[in-house]
Structure 1
Amino acid sequence: MTQSKVTNTFVELSAQIRRFVSRIVLPDDVEDIVQETFVKSYEADLKQDIKYTHSYMLKTAKNLALNHVAKWDNKHNDSLDTSDDYHQNLKSMQLEDEVTSKERFLLFCRATEQLSQPVRKCFILKKVYGMSQKEIAEQMCLSESTVEKHIAKGLLKSMQYMQQQEQDTHAIEKTVTATRRVGK
Structure 2
Amino acid sequence: MTDQTGVITAFTEISSKLRRFVSRIVSPDDVEDIVQETFIKSYEADLKQNIEYTHSYMLKTAKHLALNHIAKWDNKYKESLDEQQQVEHHMRSMALEDEVTSKERFLFFCRVTNELSPQVKKCFILKKVYGLSQKEIAAKMELSESTVEKHIAKGLLHVHRAMKSHDVQPQAYSPTTEFTAKEVNK
Q: Under a length normalisation based on structure 1, what TM-score does the superposition of the two structures give?
A: 0.46
Structure with max Cα Rg? 2
Instruction: Tell me which protein shows more helix as a share of its residues.
Output: 1
